[in-house]
């Protein structure tokens, strides 16, 4: 199963994310169920918007870009091990 993060984890790492990713593109979307295509997104577990893959996180009904998630996984693992990413 793919490891996902709730959208609120973005606030925790916002300074690091600003240096890595353009703030002109959305990193995540909240309240995905309000979108008419939500049932398809929930069933597939992801969607592709503007060429970026977004992974669905059911616990808080959000989607996060896959490259952002990968960056957070690497950053969090290194932080847990006490190394500086």
Task: Rounding to the nearest 10 degrees, give the CA dihedral for residues 65, 1, 5, 7.
Answer: 60
Is residue 85 a part of any domain in this protein? no
**Inside any domain, residue 3:** no
Domain assignment of residue 38, yes or no: yes
Residue 48 is assigned to a structural domain of this protein? yes
Residue 39 lies in a domain: yes
Domain residue limits at 39: 9-80
Q: Where are the beta strands (DSSP E) in 1-85?
A: 28-29, 46-49, 52-57, 62-65
- pLDDT value for 85: 52
Any domain includes 4: no
Q: What is the pLDDT of residues 36-66, one digit of tens each?
A: 877 888 889 999 988 999 999 888 888 999 9
Kind of pairing between the strands at 28-29 and 46-49: unpaired
In angstroms, the first-to-last Cα distance of the chain is 24
Question: CA neighbours within 13 Å on the CB side: how many for 56?
Answer: 18
Is 1 inside any structural domain?
no
Report the number of distinct structural domains present in the chain.
1
């Amino acid at each position: 199963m793919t490891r996902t993060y709730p959208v609120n984890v973005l606030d925790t790492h916002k300074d690091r994310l600003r240096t890595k990713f353009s703030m002109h593109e959305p990193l995540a979307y909240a309240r995905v169920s309000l979108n008419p295509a939500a049932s398809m997104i929930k069933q597939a577990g992801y969607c592709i918007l503007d060429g970026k893959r977004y992974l669905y996180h059911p616990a808080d009904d959000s989607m996060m870009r896959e490259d952002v998630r990968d960056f957070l996984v690497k950053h969090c693992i290194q932080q847990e091990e006490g190394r500086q990413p």
